[in-house]
Structure 1
Amino acid sequence: MQTEARPQITVRRSGDRFHSDFDWLDSWHTFSFGEHYNPAQMGFRSLRVINDDIIAPGKGFGTHPHSSMEIFTYVISGKLEHKDSMGNGRIITAGEFQYMSAGDGVEHSEFNPSAKDPVHLLQIWLTPTAPGGQPRYSDFDTKPLRQANGLALLASPSGKGSSFAIRQHAEIYFGNLDPDTDMTPESAFSHHYLHLIKGEIKVAGETLTEGDGASFGPILPIHSSADSEFLLFAVS
């Protein structure tokens, strides 16, 4: 009798991530970033950065440049003030998702405008399919798009639905599940990465808790043990 092969999944535990702790910034890096380098942790295909940042009140990143990178920010709690050389400037609040394509070059700053509350956010980078291009910016609130026990498409190559059109053959989804719920997403992509924002889920027999991530090939069923939120990256 043949035994069915177990799906291949690689888990990146929250506590195993690289860690930077400054007076104003507590940051956990899923992949190599800044002074943290490991050739085995350089990203997952086009997904290059997932930084889980907590910025102290009144602090932030001063004006700095980027080029040829697709940059996304999801605010988990608190507020983040964004300004850039394209003339954009606004405060991003909890539940909002921001997209900036650096293109040929852009400068921006990110600050916590609160005098008392920290801001907790995810910063995500994808490498584009080709360098350069006109920089561009967009943002929206994910809450009206969220589906009960479902996925909301946030970014895609064509900008289908209400998603951002990005410069990479990839899709980014926001998922939320009630306790004791099963989901098997549909995906035409061959490679996936899931980052759990909160809660507890099980994928291919692996239990993930807040801050954990997992990479796998074809899409796998997901079971929630608690009220859970996550980002799902489908990449080529």
Structure 2
Amino acid sequence: MAAATTTREASVDIRRADDRFATQMRWLDSKHSFSFGHHYSPSNTHHGLLLVNNDDIVAPGTGFDTHPHRDMEIVTWVLDGALVHQDSTGHSGVIYPGLAQRMSAGTGILHSEKNDSWRLTGEDAHTDPVHFVQMWVVPDAAGVTPGYEQLEIDGELLAGGLVTVASGMERDRDAAAIHISNRYAALHAARLAPGAAVTLPDAPFLHLFVPSGAVTLEGEGALGKGDAARFTGIGGHRVTAAEASEILVWEMHATVGM
């Protein structure tokens, strides 16, 4: 999929949690920041290179059965609980808080995601839901070889600053925990104690998401759990935690080619 750099008028677009699309089933509570599945709005298909930002809670013993993906870089970030990943390239494992994980769909991949970690660990079945954010960005080019990568970064997150979780930028070759096939995009995360602050990158496109806690965004005010801010042509804002919080920040130097 092509991506094209562009110059846009500077703006900050605040999106509130309650305004997201919602998919609710017996086993799933999913909130979609962008058009997803049968939820579609032509004015809300992406921001920069980010096409999907799904905030999911999955009940124990349930989850997404095996399904296909193609030509997409998929990053999953667990906040609470444990998520079992299995795919057609032979990868199988448990994703938990502090573990960075990326799947490149490329020419085609099948995978499942379920809240049944006891199948792999041999522990007793639990009754806890799993809460995770799944994010999709377009790759630089179609038809790459499918792949998988994960790395635990809990120690880095304890420092409290922005940690580069995933990146395809040359600048981050030795800094990112995992790598994605897009040279214009990077994902950063931070766990912030009350009163702690970080400064956002400066980029043509930024997407700030607050999956837990509450923060204050410089110049814009309070953002609560599930709120987001879409930055165009501007960056460098300061984010301060009003309570213990996590934030996810996509830094993007291009947008989806039209």
Instruction: Specify the alignment match of 1:3 in structure 2.
Output: none
Task: State how far apart, in whole Å, the 1-side matches of 2:202 and 2:227 are.
Answer: 24
Mean Cα displacement is larger for which, 202-211 or 175-184? 175-184
- Gaps of at least 5 residues in structure 2 are 1-9, 117-124, 254-258
> Per-residue deviation at 1:147?
5.0
Instruction: Specify the alignment match of 2:77 in structure 1.
Output: 74
Instruction: Specify the alignment match of 1:224 in structure 2.
Output: 241
Q: Map 1:22-101 to 2 at 5 A.
A: 22-101=25-104
Q: Deviations over 1:132-159 (max 9, x none)?
A: 1111101122312215331100111143
Instruction: Specify the alignment match of 1:4 in structure 2.
Output: none
Q: Does 1:132 align with 2:139?
A: no
Instruction: Specify the alignment match of 1:107 in structure 2.
Output: 110
8 Å Cα contact 1:57-1:117 kept in structure 2: yes
Instruction: Specify the alignment match of 1:170 in structure 2.
Output: 185
Give the AA of the match of 1:120. Answer: H
- Gaps of at least 5 residues in structure 1 are 1-6
Q: Does 1:195 align with 2:209?
A: yes
Secondary structure, aligned partner of 1:122 = strand
Q: TM-score, normalised by structure 1?
A: 0.92
Task: State how far apart, in whole Å, the 2-side matches of 1:12 and 1:200 are.
Answer: 14
Task: State how far apart, in whole Å, the 1-side matches of 2:210 and 2:221 are.
Answer: 13
Q: TM-score, normalised by structure 2?
A: 0.84
Percent sequence identity over aligned pairs:
38
Secondary structure, aligned partner of 1:27 = strand
8 Å Cα contact 1:77-1:95 kept in structure 2: no
Mean Cα displacement is larger for which, 138-147 or 13-22? 138-147
Q: Which has the higher strand share?
A: 1
> Per-residue deviation at 1:224?
2.1
Task: State how far apart, in whole Å, the 2-side matches of 1:227 and 1:116 are.
Answer: 25
Higher relative contact order by CA 8 Å / sep ≥ 6: 1 or 2?
Answer: 2
Large movers: runs of 4+ above 4 Å:
none
RMSD: 1.5
Q: Deviations over 1:203-231 (max 9, x none)?
A: 22231001111011322122222222100
Inter-CA distance 66–178: structure 2 relative to 1 (3 Å threshold): same
Mean Cα displacement is larger for which, 212-221 or 29-38? 212-221
Secondary structure, aligned partner of 1:144 = helix
> Per-residue deviation at 1:95?
2.6
Q: Deviations over 1:30-61 (max 9, x none)?
A: 11100101111111121000111111111011
Secondary structure, aligned partner of 2:40 = coil
> Per-residue deviation at 1:162?
4.1
Instruction: Specify the alignment match of 2:6 in structure 1.
Output: none
Q: Deviations over 1:163-182 (max 9, x none)?
A: 22211110100112222233
8 Å Cα contact 1:25-1:55 kept in structure 2: yes
